[in-house]
Amino acid sequence: MARVLTPQAEDFPRWYQDVIAKAELAENGPVRGSQVIRPTGWAIWERMVAEVDLRIKDAGAENASFPLLIPQSYLQREAEHVEGFAPELAVVTIGGGKELDEPAVIRPTSETVIGEFMAKWIQSYRDLPLLLNQWANVLRWEMRTRLFLRSAEFHWQEGHTAHATQDDARAYARRILHDVYEDFMANILAIPVIVGRKTTRERFAGATDTYTLEGLMRDGKALQMGTSHELGQNFAKAFDIGYLGSDGKQHHAWTTSWGVSTRMVGGMIMAHGDDNGLRVPPRLAPVQAYVIVVKDGEGVAETAAKLHDELRAAGVRVKLDTRTDIPFGRRAVDAELRGYPIRVELGPRDLKEGNATIVRRIDGSKTAVSVDAVAKAVTEALETDQKALFDAALAYREAHTADASTLAEAIEAANDGFVRLPWSDCGVEGENEANTKGVSVRCLVRADGSVPDSEDEEGLVAYLARSY
């Protein structure tokens, strides 16, 4: 496999690009920063969408769709928001061959246009909370791009909600943070994340509070996997999102926004991949079991089809490969590259002994199993390997998390992963200094690991790292 992929230890960025190319996940589009997500990569994203969407709906939000083009004046109504996004905006000035009366911005995010319609739809406290989500593509004119991680155009979900009180908005932003995002990342992506509060410097433009989930990649760099924001009343005042309260008085609503994107595909690649390619968590995998005919004849294809049907009936997402005109080795390598959790290999020799060979991608083991016991063995292995992948990622993170007592120590240790430093020993000045050396404060947590209400709380711990 070393001839197929650059080893991680030799050149991690090149390994990442090799995996994306060889596993046929994505490639660069014709416009700088755009990406074409190929069927293998899109299938992984579809599974992410399904799992996250289920959790969003369980949290009470409903899906809707809002315009791709936003009047430029909308963004200018919330000053901090437009200032934060100004360098990344793509502006349309001509439509139908004519100059537009007002330029339109291709959405970098949709707070402004959704805020406009929230103001129309909300009249009284009985209309609250209003819980909306949309699955969409957005455009941010990034200067330095990388497939999945930082493309100019990317796919995501963006949730936008309005509430009667600040406490209700905060509780909902945190519900999304934990019950939707953290649960998905831990239990489906098998990625342990540090959940904390962004510093003032790092928070979302226009937000009053930003909460984040930070994963550690296998090169020791952090990746922001998702964020949830309290927007206070900033957007409500800019767009006049008001309601008549039960007290008979007019009030401004309190709003939130939150999102995860195709960046999670990149995170999955870098958190779990090895020198043989992807290792896709079984609960996420579009193909959980890959039944492959090694060589046809003597009833092999018929038995393979039967195994396929049995696995499907057992609830396994399964794919059958009977392409014996393609060398078995090439097909096995492709399956390794794409990270299929289980391969069920069947040839005349196996069948003569009444067995099939189960190859597990996560631990690399190969086991001869009775044909009659394949379905049971596969379902058990999938659950075992899901936990094994999470445990391995957690062990890696713990081994690459250090404690520091000074900023200088933290900056040095950040070359190898997360560093914990008392926030009181860092502060805003220390954060600025760390940034000049390529290190950022990824988030703040309490000593017990919980999410603080303010960065001014006593005893907070800062997590520092180099990051994507």
Q: Please report, as a single letter, which amino acid is at residue 176.
A: I
**For residue 298, what pLDDT is reported?**
85
* pLDDT tops 80 at residue 226: yes
Q: What is the dihedral of CA 362, 363, 366, 371, to 10 degrees?
A: -50
Half-sphere exposure of 313 (CA within 13 A, CB side): 9
Rounded CA separation 145/140 (Å): 10
Q: Please report, as a single letter, which amino acid is at residue 336.
A: E
What does pLDDT average to over the chain?
A: 96
Q: Please report, as a single letter, which amino acid is at residue 117.
A: F
Cβ atoms of residues 391 and 288 within 8 Å: no
DSSP letter string over 85-148?
HGGG--EEEEETTEEEEEEEEEPS--HHHHHHHHHHH--BGGG--EEEEEEEEEE---SS-BTT
With a CB cutoff of 8 Å and minimum separation 6, the contacts of 325 are none
Please give the biggest Cα pair distance in the chain.
Answer: 82
DSSP class of 177: I
Please state the rounded mean pLDDT for residues 417-428.
Answer: 97
Please state the rounded mean pLDDT for residues 17-23.
Answer: 97
135: its two tokens: 């699955």
Cβ atoms of residues 232 and 256 within 8 Å: no
Cβ neighbour number for residue 9 with a 10 Å cutoff = 10
With a CB cutoff of 8 Å and minimum separation 6, the contacts of 383 are 282
User: Which of 383, 406, 349 is CA-nearest to residue 414?
Assistant: 406
* pLDDT tops 50 at residue 2: no
Cβ atoms of residues 247 and 241 within 8 Å: no
Rounded CA separation 333/364 (Å): 13
* pLDDT tops 50 at residue 391: yes
User: Which of 321, 396, 391 is CA-nearest to residue 363?
Assistant: 391
Rounded CA separation 275/247 (Å): 64
* pLDDT tops 90 at residue 433: yes
Any idea which residue has 């952090």 for tokens?
Answer: 222
Rounded CA separation 101/86 (Å): 20
Rg, Å, the chain Cα set: 25
**For residue 1, what pLDDT is reported?**
43
360: its two tokens: 């597990």
**For residue 211, what pLDDT is reported?**
98
421: its two tokens: 């430093």
* pLDDT tops 80 at residue 82: no
Q: What is the pLDDT of residues 109-121, one digit of tens each?
A: 999 999 999 999 9
Q: What is the pLDDT of residues 112-145, one digit of tens each?
A: 999 999 999 999 999 999 999 999 999 998 878 8
Q: How open is the CA angle 411-412-417, to the nearest 5 degrees?
A: 85
User: Which of 446, 450, 453 is CA-nearest to residue 171?
Assistant: 453
Buried/exposed 439-452: b ≥16 CB within 10 Å, e otherwise: bbbbbbbbeeeebb
Cβ atoms of residues 403 and 419 within 8 Å: yes
Cβ neighbour number for residue 136 with a 10 Å cutoff = 18
Cβ atoms of residues 212 and 199 within 8 Å: no
Rounded CA separation 389/396 (Å): 11
* pLDDT tops 50 at residue 300: yes
Rounded CA separation 166/271 (Å): 36
Please state the rounded mean pLDDT for residues 327-348.
Answer: 96
Please state the rounded mean pLDDT for residues 421-444.
Answer: 97
Q: What is the dihedral of CA 269, 275, 41, 143, to 10 degrees?
A: 60
Q: Please report, as a single letter, which amino acid is at residue 398.
A: E
**For residue 291, what pLDDT is reported?**
98
Q: Please report, as a single letter, which amino acid is at residue 371.
A: V
* pLDDT tops 70 at residue 27: yes
Rounded CA separation 168/345 (Å): 54
156: its two tokens: 């995501």
User: Which of 227, 307, 221 is CA-nearest to residue 271?
Assistant: 221
